[in-house]
Amino acid sequence: MGLKIGDKLPDFKAKDTNGILFDSKDYIGKQPLVIYFYPKDDTKVCTQQACSFRDSYQDFKDLGAEVIGISSDTIQSHIKFKSKFDLPFILLSDTDKRLRKLFGVENDFLFIPGRQTFVADSDGIIKMIFNSMSGTIHIDKALKSLKKLTK
């Protein structure tokens, strides 16, 4: 059973592309968060999704939110992916799938890691959860959810 709308984001830690330990406590309670889980760096749909988040990143920042991408790829893979596509947001490595389990992100089609987006308000309360293998839809859904929070 995964997280639900109305739940508080769990505290979690993971290494980012700078090799620094990211701590969710540094963000939860301070600003809205868009946390998206994706299957794999540098694959067609995952790249489209990441580039769509990149292209809309300023819109997320204008709404006060930070974007965090999470996959089970290694830090080295994330570094290459981030550099190749000039991704301005945080990428976290979840090689042991601990975060995926913590958030309750299930596999799609039995074996492909799920693609799921969570939007939390500045208090860390989950306001939207969206699950779809189509990558680019996540960006519009997340932006609409954040706009509702700022009204």
Whole-angstrom distance, CA of residue 52 vs CA of residue 54: 5
Query: Residue range 14-41: average pLDDT?
Result: 93
Residue 141 burial class via C-beta count within 10 angstroms: exposed 0-12, middle 13-18, buried 19 and up: middle
Q: How confident is the model at residue 108 (pLDDT cuts 50, 70, 90)?
A: low
DSSP string for 24-89: GGGTTTTS-EEEEE-S-TTSHHHHHHHHHHHHTHHHHHHTT-EEEEEESS-HHHHHHHHHHTT--S
pLDDT tens digits, one per residue of 87-105: 999 999 999 999 999 998 8
Closest to 14 measured CA to CA, from 30, 37, 31: 37
Which positions are annotated as active-site residues?
46
Across the range 79-93, mean pLDDT stands at 96
Residues sharing a CB contact under 8 Å with residue 52, sequence separation 6 or more, in sequence order: 135, 136, 138, 139
